[in-house]
Amino acid sequence: MREPRNPFRLRASEDIESDATFLRLFEPAMLDLLPSEQFWERVCILRSAPGGGKTSLMRLFTPHVLLTLHVYRTREDSKELYNRLEDLGVIGEAGPRLLGVMLSCSRNYATLADLEIDDARKERLLFGLLNARVILAALRGALVLRKLDYPDGVHRLTVAGPSETEPPAGLQFPCAGEVLYEWAKKVEAEVCEAIDSFGPPRASSLPGQDALNSLTLIRPERLTIDGTPITDRTLVMFDDVHKLTAKQRETLLKGLVELRSPVCTWVAERFEALSTDEMLSPGATAGRDYDSVIQLEQFWREKGRKQRFEKLLLSVADRRARAATAVDIPSFASCLQSSLEGTQWQDRIVPAINQVAERIRAVRDKTALYEEWITAREKMEGTATEKLIAWRTLEILIQRDRRKKQKTFDFPLSSEELEEREGSDVEAAAELFLARELGLPYYFGPTRLANLASSNIEQFLWLAGDQFEEAVSAALLKRPTDLPPERQEAIIRRAVTKWWEEIPLRVPNGRRVRDFLEAIGKFANSVTYQPNAPYSPGVTGIAISMADRDLLRDPKSLKGTPALQELAAAITSAIAHNLLEPILDYKVKGGRWMVLYLNRALCVKFALPLHYGGFRERTLTELGQWLEHGFRPKEEAMLL
């Protein structure tokens, strides 16, 4: 396959046809998601919003990809990935040591629910079809690993079969691979015939099984070729489980739990499959029914991982930039200017220093309280940008001090007190305020672009792809490829506007969700731009009490209260699609809260900072009013 002009456009794993290209674009740091303990002895649930990276992670463990990686193991762009997988016992010098069986649940399973048969037979059909396809995929994968043709080479396979359970109807163990192959093909054909039948199927002729017994048949010691085990381990991966019906999903997960198969099993699904109760629960069923639940976005948001994720994204971007064939751009970060030191912006910044300083000196004419603070600023060294932010920071601090309702003494404030009150949060608020006041770009540079991803890889590729497209066009026209700040921000704003307009089309209950997000955004903006920046660097979310969160989860509480039902549906849908970022059980002000931060791309729409930590508590009644009527700022609110 010819490499694309802009590899950032290859967002979904299935869009990348070539295994070699997939490996060049795959970032090894994605493997940090995998649990380190008992990795091969558990049922692992992978959950995320669309674009979290679930399918790409699973594709890495499929036979064709592992064989390609083994061939390229000495190449510079493959060494780290090879070494990481070698440490996991997935691959070695002799080749792949893992048989990865990947099965998509998007292929007509949901239509089984429409058959005119009882639920028990529907469940047997579901297990029958899953078993047949797992076996066929395992046989294919086994032959791929041994570089044999499929299905011609199945006769060389032998299946020992489980000794502890009865074999499925129509099978006796041990058996040749071709016997198992024909059996699985027959079961799949019979189930598909029942699905495609115009009339009700005859219950007596329906195939099916009562459990996922295919997982016991493909254990490494039971599946051999010419008498030798195929690999050391087997991994079964069910992708797109959210495309099953709610009942089928429950049946599959319950079946995996009850089976307790020694074969490692992964289940990948989007958050949209979860009920309101599951969506608003901490960790869902982690530690209860399943050995491990990995929520991808939440994983990267946990303390200490933000910088790791930023590094991962920029590494992903560099890999994509190097894969472009039309231009030679070895580093994505080199495409993005990251400062306002150019003449265009300095012509605004330098005069603004005196303007802000004069406003502050006017305060000194009325009181001597801030004399030492002002003197300290006048002696400050640094670039023009640093000086401007420092003066604007001082103005915010003076506003805060003057707004204190009670003062017992009016002694002049020392420079030491200034140092105590200063901080990166106030400086960040000053930078945000200056961007609005002077018309300066704010959303630019590699770090802020990574922050705009909201812990979602596809969202980053979408935003970075637009930036890279501009750089490619500039390179082809023999122009500089480093985009200036104002151009970066313009591209981001255009992309965010389109994304915002598409929410009703791609999100269930999308119009109500967008109404709710708009209310949160307008509220956050009204609080952020108060002159004293009380929640510096700004408010980017709301919080509800954990008790209110429990009301939204409780079907009995929702019953008979349409307004509460609508609010619960809007919040659940927004979280499921990564439009709101939840933090559960946040302790502050003597209470426990569920914090809901806006997706960072929404911060662009509402002119908000990209920092976390700024939120305001609200009641369900207030939020219900926002959903119905929008946010209405108080007349006395003081906005800049």
DSSP letters of 90-111? SEETTEE-EEEEEEETTSSSGG
Name the burial class of residue 280, with classes exposed (0-12), middle (13-18) and buried (19+) by CB atoms within 10 angstroms of its CB. buried
Q: What is the DSSP letter of 211?
A: S
| The dihedral formed by the CA atoms of 583, 588, 591 and 593, expressed in degrees to the nearest 10 | -20
Side chain identity at residue 360, one-letter code: I
How many angstroms from the chain centroid is the CA of residue 184? 36
User: Do 247 and 113 contact (CB within 8 A), yes or no?
Assistant: yes
Q: How many helices (H) and strands (E) does the chain have?
A: 26, 15
Would you say the C-alpha torsion 583, 585, 586, 589 has a positive or negative sign? positive
Side chain identity at residue 328, one-letter code: D
Amino acid at 146: R
Say how far apart CA 270 and CA 165 lie, in whole Å.
34
For the record, the structure tokens of 406 come out as: 């009670």
* DSSP β-ladder status, 541-545 and 95-96: unpaired
Higher per-residue confidence, 577 vs 410? 577
Share of the chain above pLDDT 90, in %: 70
Residue 292 pLDDT > 90: no
Amino acid at 504: P
Could you tell me which of 409, 343, 412, 422 has the C-alpha nearest to residue 377?
A: 422
User: Sheet harboring 175-176: ordered strands across?
Assistant: 175-176, 157-159, 223-225, 228-229
DSSP of 399-432: HHHHT-S--S--PPPPHHHHHHH--HHHHHHHHH
Residue 278's pLDDT band, with cuts at 50, 70 and 90, is confident
What's the CA gap between 1 and 13, in Å, rounded? 15
Q: 615 phi and psi, to 5 degrees?
A: -150, 165
Helices of type H across 38-149: 54-59, 63-71, 79-87, 119-145
User: Could you count the other beta carbons within 10 Å of the beta carbon of residue 289?
Assistant: 15
Mean pLDDT of 398-409: 73
Return the residue matching tokens 């039948």. 197
Task: Give me the amino acid identity at 348.
Answer: R
Structure tokens that stand for 92 in this block: 């070695």
Tokens of 543: 């919080």
Cβ–Cβ < 8 Å for 250, 258? no
Question: What pLDDT was estimated at residue 405?
Answer: 52
Distances (CA, A) of 307 to 234, 304, 586: 33, 7, 22
pLDDT confidence band for 283 (50 / 70 / 90): very low
For 554, which DSSP code? -
Burial group, residue 589, by CB count within 10 angstroms (0-12, 13-18, 19+): exposed
531 or 42, higher pLDDT: 531
The reported pLDDT for the residue numbered 2 is 54
The one-letter amino acid code at 38 reads Q
- Measured CA to CA, the distance from residue 68 to residue 72 in angstroms comes to 6
Assign 285 a pLDDT band (cuts: 50, 70, 90): very low
User: Residue 54: pLDDT above 90?
Assistant: yes
Tens of pLDDT, residue by residue over 193-242, are 888 775 566 655 677 788 898 998 898 889 999 889 999 999 999 999 99
User: Which DSSP category does 161 fall into?
Assistant: -
For residues 98-117, give the mean pLDDT. Answer: 91
Evaluate whether 302 touches 308 at the Cβ level (below 8 Å): no
**Cα–Cα–Cα angle for 558, 562, 564, nearest 5°?**
55
Bridge partners, residue 582, by sequence: 596
Alpha carbons within 13 angstroms on the beta-carbon side of residue 119 total 5
**Do strands 233-239 and 292-295 pair parallel, antiparallel, or not at all (unpaired)?**
unpaired
Question: Which of 533, 551, 549 has its CA nearest to residue 591?
Answer: 549
Is the confidence at residue 8, as pLDDT, over 60? yes
The pLDDT, as a whole number, for residue 636 is: 36
CB 540 within 8 A of CB 597: yes
Q: How many CB atoms lie within 10 A of CB 213?
A: 22
Contact by Cβ (8 Å): 264, 88: no
Q: What is the mean pLDDT of the chain?
A: 90
Residue owning tokens 């003449």: 343
Is the four-CA dihedral 43, 48, 54, 57 of positive or negative sign? Answer: negative
- For residue range 433-466, list pLDDT tens digits in order: 999 999 999 999 999 999 999 999 999 999 999 9
Nearest one of 187, 189, 180 to 207, comparing CA atoms: 187
Task: Specify the DSSP class assigned to residue 151.
Answer: T
Residue bearing the bigger pLDDT, 1 or 272: 272
Please answer whether residues 46 and 268 qualify as being in contact, where contact means their C-beta atoms are separated by less than 8 angstroms: yes
**Which has more pLDDT, 115 or 472?**
472
Q: Which of 382, 381, 377, 460 is nearest to 413 (CA)?
A: 377
Both tokens assigned to 38: 């008992």
pLDDT tens digits, 310-349: 999 999 999 999 998 888 898 999 999 999 988 899 999 9
H/E stretch holding 592 reads strand 591-598
Q: Which pLDDT does position 409 carry in this prediction?
A: 58
CA 83, 79, 13, 302 dihedral sign is positive
Per-domain boundaries in the chain: 50-246, 343-438, 503-640
Is 438 exposed, middle or buried, given 0-12, 13-18 or 19+ CB atoms closer than 10 A? Answer: middle
Both tokens of 349, joined, read: 């910044």
Nearest to 237 by CA among 95, 43, 410: 43
pLDDT tens digit string along 156-207? 999 987 766 777 888 888 999 999 999 999 999 988 888 877 556 665 567 7
The pLDDT of residue 633 is: 81
